[in-house]
Amino acid sequence: MSEIWYLFRITPISGPMLSPATPSLSSLAPAVRDAARRAGDLALPYFRAGAQTAAKLWYKGQSSPVTEADIALDLFLKQHLTELLPQAGWLSEETADDPSRLQQSHVWIVDPIDGTRAFASGHPDWAISIALVKDGRPVLGVLHAPIHDRLYEARIGEGAWCNGERMQASATDPHSAPKVAGPKPLVDRLERGVGPVERLPKVPSLALRLARVAEASIDIGLVSANAQDWDIAAADLMLHEAGAMLTGFDGSTPIYNKPVPSHGEMIAVSSRLHPRAIGAMRA
């Protein structure tokens, strides 16, 4: 890994160095997009479709997998993103938490590989997730799914895009059976409240599950308790900019960069379908 790290240290991403006082999202976005793509390129040699990863694998705690690819991508992204916006704090699944982030208005929130279990087992549904949060809410998000060759991005007030095409959440007739993905107990609960649903396979990357709601290939995405900031922040902005919502079952929107960066059960759904869907989850 040291040779890889050296390689990326001497090939910096071209992009603007932003004034701490006047960060420009439009000028920052291309460099973040480039960082996500290059992180994907760094991960690909470790991926084996339908087979166990070539990367070394170990576990955090008793059941949370991590690979050397996660660590390599985390190091790469931390270097390049903090160079782009030095005044921003840092919060990542693979970096020891630094409480100084709580004092920063801007914070990078990153999951170098969202869906590590899928990545490690050769499943294609994993992604690099990058969000820039300002005062508790995302203002820029990039999500790159290398195996699917899909790059999702959003900037606050400027829309959400996938591979250059604007995304718009589902406008499904609220009386038709919605396409739903998520944990079975939550899907069962939803179905009891809204009637029959079309059950889609659970998407192992939570960030991708939410992004697919934004692009309308899923109507409703359900989220178990204990999702972390890095799982959802980038996709949250994409949902918002595509005309959808990510909320708790009480209707509250997630706030990011809190001392404990975890969340309760949530639902992602178009604004049009939100009242009916959330009513079913409250029942």
Give mean pLDDT, residues 263-276. Answer: 95
235 contacts 223 by C-beta, under 8 angstroms: no
Angle between helix 2-9 and helix 25-43 axes, rounded to 10 deg: 150
pLDDT, tens digit (0-9, with 9 covering 90-100), for 226-265? 999 999 999 999 999 999 999 999 999 999 999 999 999 9
Residue 180: what are its φ and ψ, rounded to 5°? -125, 140
Among 127, 143, 165, which residue terminates a domain?
165
Domain co-membership, 78 together with 132 = yes
Burial of 228 (0-12, 13-18, 19+ CB in 10 A): middle
User: Which residues neighbour 64 within 8 Å (Cβ) at sequence distance 6 or greater?
Assistant: 116
CA angle 118, 56, 226 (to 5 degrees): 45
Give Cα separations from 57 to 53, 157, 178, 208 (angstroms). Answer: 8, 40, 37, 22
Q: Are residues 145 and 54 in the same domain?
A: yes
Residues 159 and 63 in one domain: yes
CA proximity to 167, closest of 125, 213, 108, 224: 213
**Whether the Cβ atoms of residue 278 and residue 235 lie closer than 8 Å to each other:** no
| 103 and 34 both lie in a single domain | yes
Mark whether 160 and 184 lie in a shared domain: no
pLDDT at residue number 1: 39
Residue 172 in domain:
no
Would residue 45 count as lying in a domain? yes
Same domain, 192 and 153: no
Same domain, 250 and 151: no
Q: Do 114 and 12 fall into the same domain?
A: yes
Residue at which a domain ends, from 120, 139, 165: 165
Q: What tens digit of pLDDT does each residue of 121-176 get? A: 999 999 999 999 999 999 999 999 999 999 999 999 999 999 999 999 987 776 78
* Interatomic CA distance for residues 177 and 219, integer angstroms: 9
> Has residue 170 been placed in a domain?
no
- Look at residue 263 in the predicted model and tell me its pLDDT: 98
Are 212 and 160 in the same domain? no
Contact assessment for residue 151 and residue 162, using Cβ atoms and an 8 Å cutoff: yes
What pLDDT score does 174 carry?
63
* Domain tally, the chain: 2
Does position 7 have pLDDT exceeding 90, yes or no? no
Evaluated on CA atoms 171, 177, 180, 183, the torsion sign reads positive
Is 173 contained in some domain? no
β-bridge pairing 64-67 and 165-166: unpaired
- Does 135 share its domain with 196? no
As a whole number, mean pLDDT of residues 7-21 equals 40
Find the CATH number of the domain harbouring 134.
3.30.540.10
195 and 138 together in one domain: no
pLDDT band at 16 (very low <50, low <70, confident <90, very high): very low
In a domain, residue 120? The reply is: yes
In a domain, 46, yes or no: yes
- Confidence grade of residue 283 (pLDDT, cut at 50, 70, 90): confident
pLDDT tens digits, 176-189: 899 999 999 999 99
- pLDDT, one tens digit per residue, over 21-40 is 545 898 899 999 999 999 99
Q: What pLDDT was estimated at residue 21?
A: 52
My answer on whether 155 and 195 are in the same domain is: no
C-alpha pair distances (Å), 37 with each of 23, 45, 85, 131, 178: 22, 14, 18, 14, 32
For residue 116, being part of any structural domain is answered with yes
Q: Is the dihedral of CA 203, 207, 208, 214 positive or negative?
A: positive
Structural domain span for residue 244: 179-282
Confidence band (pLDDT; 50, 70, 90) for 60?
A: confident
Could you say which of 165, 195, 225 is where a domain stops?
Answer: 165
Find the CATH number of the domain harbouring 207. Answer: 3.40.190.80
Whether 57 is covered by a domain: the verdict is yes
